[in-house]
């Protein structure tokens, strides 16, 4: 297949690009490199360094031959930031995402895969979260992804664009072959921050809240390995042939913040200093995915079901790249 991947140089996107390249697809990455890294990509992959807002650049790429599909990862993705700048998230994420869909329709692209999020479920009362759980975004970030999902629904109904919306829970880990890993600037995600604390790259990890209604009082999340996410994208591309679909993507198991700290301690063999802090605004107590639908409809099965195995891949990548991309040890 010939595929365009927006945001393909980012954390999740780059793992999908590797998986597509591994199976022989022709992949072009469209990325402004504000969060992405050239070094995260296979050397043979063409990178178009441009803004999604640059309509001329986007039209030039989409007009350059036939495209079998577009995979859309380029987005702002911080829940907390979206609570500060709601309209920025709506114009950047929803606005540009919808313009991308429009461009795909104009250029005759037949398949679209959206990197969506568990954040559009807000703070649900029952777990696990399935595709029939009530949607109620807890943040403008979640809302912005929902707006793109709805635009895709109409793109299919009116223009026949086949799509898959993949709602990730907590993407974690790194390519087991060490070809790509997690390097956000600034880093806000739990596992890389704990690893930094274990490696002495930061003094401690701050735990946001120990008074949640969970077994140990800290938030519970569903950590799903990026390589499993990558395989889910391949499965979704095949599934699209028989119609559009929307799936939750998680491992189905919840781990508390303290569970993750203990896991990093076990895997690294080093203590992780931590300090209890007040809750972080916008954080739901528990988010665990029910992924039965994608399993039954595509045969997808996560290979990483043990948290320590996920953490081990993230730790290995970070040990090989103590300063992230561009500074391999």
C-alpha neighbours within 13 Å on the C-beta side of residue 27: 27
H/E segment holding residue 300: none
* In the complex, least distance from residue 6 CB atom to ligand UDP, rounded to whole angstroms: 20
Report the C-alpha gap between 119 and 206 in whole angstroms.
22
Question: Toward ligand UDP, which CB reaches closer, 27 or 166?
Answer: 166
Report the C-alpha gap between 308 and 313 in whole angstroms.
9
Question: Toward ligand UDP, which CB reaches closer, 188 or 303?
Answer: 188
* In the complex, least distance from residue 194 CB atom to ligand UDP, rounded to whole angstroms: 8
Q: Any bridge partners for residue 29, and if so which?
A: 5, 47
* In the complex, least distance from residue 24 CB atom to ligand UDP, rounded to whole angstroms: 33
26 three-state secondary structure? strand
State both tokens at 302.
């996560």
* In the complex, least distance from residue 78 CB atom to ligand UDP, rounded to whole angstroms: 8
For ligand UDP, the binding residues (CB under 6 A) are 79, 170, 188-190, 193, 205-208, 219, 221, 257, 280, 283
Which residue has its beta carbon closest to ligand UDP?
219
* In the complex, least distance from residue 211 CB atom to ligand UDP, rounded to whole angstroms: 12
* In the complex, least distance from residue 203 CB atom to ligand UDP, rounded to whole angstroms: 12
Report the C-alpha gap between 289 and 295 in whole angstroms.
12
Question: Toward ligand UDP, which CB reaches closer, 176 or 282?
Answer: 282
Question: Toward ligand UDP, which CB reaches closer, 112 or 304?
Answer: 304
Question: Toward ligand UDP, which CB reaches closer, 62 or 195?
Answer: 195
Residue 257's contacts (CB-CB under 8 Å, 6 or more residues apart) are 190, 207, 208, 218, 219
Question: Among all residues, which ones are annotated catalytic?
Answer: 141
Report the C-alpha gap between 229 and 20 in whole angstroms.
12
With vertex at residue 150, the alpha carbon angle to CA 100 and CA 286, rounded to the nearest 5 degrees, is 110
Question: Toward ligand UDP, which CB reaches closer, 272 or 294?
Answer: 272
Q: What DSSP string describes 66-115?
A: --SEEEE------HHHHHH-HHHHIIIIIIHHHHHHHHHHHTT--EEEEE
With vertex at residue 287, the alpha carbon angle to CA 73 and CA 306, rounded to the nearest 5 degrees, is 85
């Amino acid at each position: 297949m010939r595929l365009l991947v927006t945001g393909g140089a980012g954390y999740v996107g780059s793992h999908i690009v590797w998986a597509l390249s591994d199976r022989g697809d022709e992949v072009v990455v469209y990325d402004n490199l504000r969060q992405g890294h050239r070094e995260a990509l296979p050397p043979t992959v063409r990178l178009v360094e441009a803004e999604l807002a640059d309509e001329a650049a986007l039209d030039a790429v989409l007009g350059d031959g036939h495209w079998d599909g577009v995979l859309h990862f380029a987005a702002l993705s911080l829940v907390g930031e979206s609570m500060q700048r709601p309209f920025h998230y709506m114009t950047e994420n929803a606005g540009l995402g919808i313009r991308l869909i429009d461009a795909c329709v104009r250029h005759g692209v037949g398949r679209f895969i959206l990197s969506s999020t568990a954040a559009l479920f807000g703070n649900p009362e029952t777990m696990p979260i399935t595709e029939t759980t009530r949607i109620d975004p807890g943040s403008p970030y979640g809302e912005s992804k929902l707006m793109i999902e709805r635009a895709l629904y109409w793109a299919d109904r009116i223009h026949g664009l086949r799509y898959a919306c993949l709602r990730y829970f907590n993407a974690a880990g790194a390519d087991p072959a060490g070809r790509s890993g997690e390097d956000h600037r600034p880093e806000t995600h739990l596992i890389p921050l704990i690893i930094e604390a274990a490696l002495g790259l930061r003094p401690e990890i701050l735990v946001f809240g120990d008074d949640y209604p969970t077994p140990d009082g800290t938030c519970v999340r569903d950590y799903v390995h990026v390589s499993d996410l990558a395989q889910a994208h391949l499965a979704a591309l095949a599934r699209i042939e028989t119609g559009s679909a929307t799936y939750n993507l998680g491992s189905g198991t919840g781990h508390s913040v303290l569970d993750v700290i203990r896991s990093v301690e076990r895997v690294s063999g080093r203590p992780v200093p931590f300090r209890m802090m007040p809750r972080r605004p916008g954080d739901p107590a528990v988010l665990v995915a029910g992924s039965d639908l994608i399993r039954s409809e595509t045969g997808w099965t996560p290979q990483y079901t043990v948290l320590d195995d996920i953490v081990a891949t993230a730790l290995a990548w970070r040990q090989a790249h103590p300063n992230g991309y561009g500074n391999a040890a």
